[in-house]
Amino acid sequence: MRKTVSKRPGEGKTENTMLAALVRQIKILTKTIEDLRAAGKGAEVESGPPKSLAEAIDEYESYLAAVKGLSPKTIAAYVYDLGRFRSFMEESGGPAPTVQQIRPETISGFLEKLHRRGCGAITTTRALSSIRGFLAYGVRIGHLAVSPARGFANPKRPYNLPVYLTEDELDRLLSIPDMGTWLGRRDAAMLAAFAFGGLRLQELINLGVDDVDFVNRTMLINGKGRKQRPIPLNQGLSDALQKYLEVRPGGKTGSLFISYLLKTLSPRGVEKALAKHARKAGIAAIKGHPHALRHSFGTGLHRRGVDIVEIRSLMGHGSVATTQIYVSVNAEELRDAVGKLDAGVDGGARGKGLDQ
């Protein structure tokens, strides 16, 4: 005879409630496992309602400016790449594409098209980087649960040494601006800021008068992603800035470098001024670009034995791998120097020298 076990009042109801809760937890866990498996197989897990690709790109552009603090030039490059990607998706002639329609094969098809059009590794890598960043943003705000760009490897980029000025070229360039005019002193100070401070073009434009501290001999740089770094003022840069500020006219802007209209100097204005002085100095136009002067700063530091980590800090690089190019420059110079041992020495003399 089976023994009957009596239950307390309400005990059966409690067990049913616990069982129902357990079932719900199992369903949630099962759904999570399925999502993870789908992600592992490379299929996107869509999240949220369909989002117009055009609208999402506009929102991403605002995000890059307001949150990431990127320069207008950098943002324009990202938006340009994403615009090309959007045009590629629109070529099918169907409805306006959405973010959720992006698949790994969509990205690979776009990159293949760039390759067919003759785009090099640098262009293709930048396009892929722009798409990656955009889709990562889509995951972050809920348009996608998984980025379809994961797993894509960057194309191998060609190895190019940076363009920089020799010490003789730099001396000639610095001697060109007319120190009898305020614009000449401005240009001399800009050249010194690039060559002795290692500034990027946008960093120079962002400089304010208050960012220069002659007492502590430092200058505060507002770099990429709103990252700030102080750099020391050497004598050449300090002198050039002081001579400029002695005659700098007042204006409606606190920007350090201003145009003849007394407004903040534009990137194009800086490039035109430097190109003019490069021509007068008999220097190749590419060496008169702000970035060539910045490279001259990095190369000069490494040539004088400054540690690569310190150079990275002074130049505001995000990674030592970027700064490593200046090690490569000096290694190339050493190879050239050794190669000159062969110049003017014939085989017999070389052999004789070795025998002795």
**Positions marked active-site:** 200, 224, 291, 294, 317, 326
Q: Which residue has the tokens 């060496």?
A: 287
Sequential DSSP letters for 104-149: HHHHHHHHHHHHHTT--HHHHHHHHHHHHHHHHHHHHHTSBSS-TT
Burial class (CB in 10 A: 0-12, 13-18, 19+), 3: exposed
Amino acid at 102: I
Segments in 166-289 forming alpha helices (H): 167-174, 182-197, 201-206, 235-247, 267-280
Maximum alpha-carbon separation in the chain: 117
What would the two tokens of residue 129 be?
A: 């980087």
Sign of CA dihedral 55, 60, 65, 67: positive
**Residue 96 gets which letter from DSSP?**
P
Amino acid at 147: S
What are the strands, taking DSSP E only, across the chain?
212-213, 218-222, 228-232
The helices-and-strands tally (H runs, E runs) of the chain is 15, 3
Amino acid at 331: A
Long-range interactions of 118-125: CB distance < 8 A, separation 24+: 120/158, 121/155, 121/156, 121/157, 121/158, 122/157, 122/158, 124/155, 125/154, 125/155, 125/157
Q: Which residue has the tokens 């069982």?
A: 19
What would the two tokens of residue 215 be?
A: 């007492």
What would the two tokens of residue 244 be?
A: 């400029």
Distance CA 202, CA 75 (A): 13
